[in-house]
Structure 1
């Protein structure tokens, strides 16, 4: 059912390493953060989970959000809220994931921004506090 002309493929060059028995997402070696701030690993993990869940729904690996919630042992409300991150604008995702620019917002605020039009998201996410 997927037509290649309507498909958007997002490639995120990340490395996953285990630290203290837990997976840690690392940026490409050539990425250097601006102004010394570091990216919150929780933001990266949340975006990765959101995209994974979205992909499961799109491919039919999961039929409903409830299926994902049951498999992940979390509430369906949590999955619904986190999945908003999979709908951030491509520009914002590139800044967060590839360039590792830390957002000026908390994770909860970032989920709310995902409901705004793409043209507004970048300014809100990276505004200087």
Structure 2
């Protein structure tokens, strides 16, 4: 056991890099996530939010993306980009939400993929 006045120093080899103007903590190059890791919670949350927005727009709560963005207090551009996630191919959505292996596809990649055909989305989102 340690004494109350002892100091324990833990070294975690992380690096900080800027990504899109924001600092991002990067793990060591040899880091491998555990086998039981699930999907990225940010991606899952964004997909759920996009589907909620889509349902509200289809129900007639909002006529335009601008109205939706104002109501939820987010930028119209952000809402427009994120709303695209509700139109991803069913196979891609299934892999992202039900798959057991962590996906290497980022949220940004998914938003860009949404403009392609479902077959192209499925092929490119395989990463």
TM-score interval, normalised by the smaller of the two chains: 0.5 to 0.7
Equivalenced residues, count: 94
Question: In 2, Cα distance between the equivalents of 1:109 and 1:50?
Answer: 15
Give every structure 1 segment of 4 or more consecutive aligned residues whose post-TM-superposition deviation is greater than 6 Å.
Answer: none
8 A Cα contact 2:88 2:121, kept in partner: yes
Q: Does 1:67 align with 2:62?
A: no
Quickly say closer, same or farther: Cα 1:79–1:85, change in 2 above 3 A: same
Q: Does 1:95 align with 2:58?
A: no
Question: In 1, Cα distance between the equivalents of 2:100 and 2:75?
Answer: 29
Offset, 1:97: 1.3
Question: In 2, Cα distance between the equivalents of 1:125 and 1:104?
Answer: 9
- The normalised TM-score by structure 2 is 0.67
- The normalised TM-score by structure 1 is 0.66
Deviations 1:55-79 (A, max 9, x none): 1111101121112111211111111
**Gap runs ≥5 in structure 2:** 1-34
Question: In 1, Cα distance between the equivalents of 2:43 and 2:60?
Answer: 26
Aligned-residue CA RMSD in angstroms?
A: 1.8
Question: In 2, Cα distance between the equivalents of 1:121 and 1:107?
Answer: 13
Question: In 1, Cα distance between the equivalents of 2:91 and 2:101?
Answer: 12
Larger Rg: 2
The structure where helix makes up a greater share of residues is: 1
Offset, 1:123: 2.0
